[in-house]
Structure 1
């Protein structure tokens, strides 16, 4: 009887701890290299914070959660361009009072023709019958300017590392570890990022300017030089120190300048992130060792 009461109390605690399941969708658009069919390679980085999932006791000192993630990409007319269902099984825990439960992340790369789409992600907590589902939608526009342009800027939780590997975490000769939701938490002292430059004048050294700013006017800046590659996009990987930037949202601008004295803006893009020095941010998933 005492064990039963303890077990019931444990389930009550787990149900109280679990709020609505959370889903983070980070989307980055890169141009594909197919010259016949113009389009983009869309990277969808999905993160499910397991703090928001309910854990079920499967054996003495063995607790586990389970989530079902559905990804849909809908065309402008409402028809499906992509559909997939993924089951996430976080590692078994021996103690559900652990304050930090590692999130579950995965990345999908999808080739799509240019056009307008809607990305829809749904997470369902498989151990809850009520209030256990959350849906997130994002507009997705795929198009390419005629002149020089930057792809989406991807925020990283660690520096882009040179790599010759060929997997979902490698791009442009780098291995990338994303910062889920663009969040930087306790212990983060730098913002790391990656993007690609297209259609830039070849053979001319360009100036790349990085600018980090917050709503209160705090800012950090840095410059670098870049020589575009011929026939392929040019990778840009960099970092900026957090320094005294306050908690809250920040905006990172990446700008490329050319022309006489490298003073003419020829391409630019931005990314929005969040800094919270008092909390742990979801760790980015990396390629398995």
Structure 2
């Protein structure tokens, strides 16, 4: 995911605008979700300085991009009970989380994945409010886009489990390869993964070769990842701190209005 995030930020010919999160993002969302719920939906907990908000604003992660500058956010999710990885893709335009799971199965598995996705769907709009996200997008028609005018700005995101995906062997541990491959397809603008053309063995070999070549070039150049850090990460490592943009009060931001039905 870090490789794709770097590609999104520095690649000269990216067909779509996207960014990825890291393995900690889902954990931060779950933590603040539990705190929010335990404190009777206390909105004072949803601040621009929270880890989730920092990721949305383009800080916290290496080679990060602010979410108001992308169309898709690729979110890897670890389902702890099953030691399984799935991919959630947030489409800004459709206000929806699309779930890519290479191991569809029984009710228990589906319920475990859905519980995590519902937490993301609940918390992300709250942090959009706190970070002034809606005031930064000029490419979304807030007044006429049906996905927005029929929802309040704090309402949970919709979510959809994508069907007809390539599936791993139920006895295998190949979920990581599938998630990486799904993410790469989406980074190329291919949202419908070609099931009949998918070969996880070839993807595994290719990713191994890419990582080896990347590491070799990085070592030869004497580069370190931290030189690409932004915001808080840069400051903690002693590098120049990038000044963050001021966050306007969310109460004063233009809000999408609900459609009035006659």
Structure 1 and Structure 2 fold alike (TM over 0.5): no
Judging by fraction of residues, say which structure has more helix: 2
Judging by fraction of residues, say which structure has more strand: 1
Which structure carries more relative contact order (alpha carbon 8 Å, separation 6+)?
2
Please report the TM-score for the alignment, with normalisation by the length of structure 2.
0.25
Please report the TM-score for the alignment, with normalisation by the length of structure 1.
0.24
State the structure with more CA Rg: 1
